[in-house]
Amino acid sequence: MSDDRKAISSGRVLAASGWALVSRGSVRMLGLVSTIVLARLLTPTDFGIVSMAMIVVGFSEAVLEFGVRAILIHRSNLTRDDYDTAWTLNVIQGALATAITAALAVPAAHYFHDPRLPVVVLALAAGMMIGSLGNIGVVNFQRDLEFSRDFVLFVARKLAGVIVGITAAIIFRSYWAMVCGYLATQLTGTTVSYVIHPYRPRLSVAKLREFLRFSVWLSVRQVGAFARERVDRFIVGGSASSTVMGYYTIASELTEIISSEMMAPIGRALLPAFAGLQGQHERLRAAMRTAIGGVTTIVMPAAAGMAFVAHDLVMVVLGAKWLAAVPILRILALAVLLRSVSFSMGMLLTAVGRLAFHTYMIWLQVLAFWGLWAFWLYAHGPQGAALARLVAASGFAFVMCSYTIAIGFLRVRDLVSALTRPVAASACMIAALSWLQPQLVGGTVATLAILVIAGAGAYSSLLLVLWAASGRPDGFERIVLNHAMERLHAIRGST
């Protein structure tokens, strides 16, 4: 195993982010196809049951998350003992999480008022154990920003889950189709990880003490992150029917096209990039400015656009039986938009070892959600839960921006500069779509396609105009254009 990191440049980070986006985009496309087909074959109640079971699974995983991948990415000069200890901790985590999940199966059925849950939870627990056995060597793809090799792993495991899930849905026409898809995903991921990387881990606890020292805050933060992402579903599932839970789940999954499948790949590139710049304050600050600009430039128009076309999106993609999810989808999409502002800051704080503050803020956001729901928005049902998430996300973004500025990793003018163009271009895009939409027939494939294409074209054009008008400053736009020109010259040179 190599101990040396390759030199990190903005071009490499951009290329890595691009590969990560292609990889996760392919995975999300497969997932979207799966969701569309399953939504047509199954019912909101089926989605609600599996979502309830996944809350139990996710809780067990979060409680026992040792953060070994983040530790390996953060540290330099790794030895075989580091990798073997990390793999051993993953296996221990999987075994304990499986046991906890099994123990919670019956209590979960009582809380969610659904007797079908225990057997579903137990089946998903088995998948957790299979997934924990994956090859730890593949973490080097992220350490070295070699996400082109990650592509094979991500796509193979997702493709297996989609094929098995859709096949099972055609045969069984029940929630068991999604369970089968999950099991196939876990089994394929573990198998492929050993095929694409030669490392063969062994049981070892040689570096256990060092890992546990670092993993305490990672574990606490991970539980908080799980609570932040799933507390709304937990509340909705316990206070409403499995059908309503299905509506909320599908709205959440559609917004995760942005939050998990756009921001997460960028974060996978940002974490090792920031870690490689530790001790270089000015370069970290420049990287922070570029990262905020890059994330918001990509995510903000996608989130705003999804909120705008929510009705047409649900009608075309899922069908009329899912229209109750539209108002929830609009609110959750706006929450993702706000989250894009603070996302890069969380990656930075993790990379430079300031986990305590980030952890506190995540938990504070969870508490803010609970307070908003309990004392203000409870009567609004699932839409109230979505609103509570939106307000909590806005407060979290403000605090994270303030703290990052206070510790010197970001200046106010840099933040304003990074946000001005994406915000202005997104606002103009929505204004243009608001003029265009009344002239189209709602709820059709053609209308949705026209709105998406027009929105993307308007946003891209406006962004470049604003960038040129502001003097073509250094930032995400310049990096993208320079990288595109380099690739073009390389292609011309090879022909």
Look at residue 2 in the predicted model and tell me its pLDDT: 46
pLDDT along the chain (495 residues), means of 10: 48 59 72 87 93 91 72 78 90 91 94 93 94 89 71 87 95 94 95 92 86 69 78 86 91 82 64 70 81 86 94 91 94 91 81 76 87 83 90 90 88 89 94 93 90 94 90 76 70 65
- H-state helical runs in 112-175: 117-131, 139-143, 147-172
Look at residue 207 in the predicted model and tell me its pLDDT: 82
Report phi then psi at 8, rounded to 5. Answer: -105, 130
Residues 6+ apart with CB under 8 A from 290: 10, 418, 474, 475, 476, 479
What are the structure tokens assigned to 468, written together?
């040129």
Amino acid identity of 16? A
Extents of the domains making up the chain: 1-240, 277-495
Measured between alpha carbons, how far is 264 from 251 in angstroms, rounded to an integer?
18
**DSSP character at residue 5:** P
Residues 6+ apart with CB under 8 A from 342: 396, 397, 400, 401
Cα atoms in the 13 Å half-sphere on the side-chain side of 329 = 27
pTM of the model: 0.75
Look at residue 13 in the predicted model and tell me its pLDDT: 57
Look at residue 269 in the predicted model and tell me its pLDDT: 62
Residues 6+ apart with CB under 8 A from 127: 182, 183, 185, 186, 187
- The distance in angstroms from the start CA to the end CA of the chain is 36
Measured between alpha carbons, how far is 176 from 160 in angstroms, rounded to an integer?
16
Q: State the burial class of residue 242 (Cβ atoms within 10 Å of its Cβ: 0-12, 13-18, 19+).
A: buried
Report pLDDT digits (tens) over 276-334.
777 777 878 888 888 888 888 888 999 999 999 999 999 998 888 999 999 999 999 99
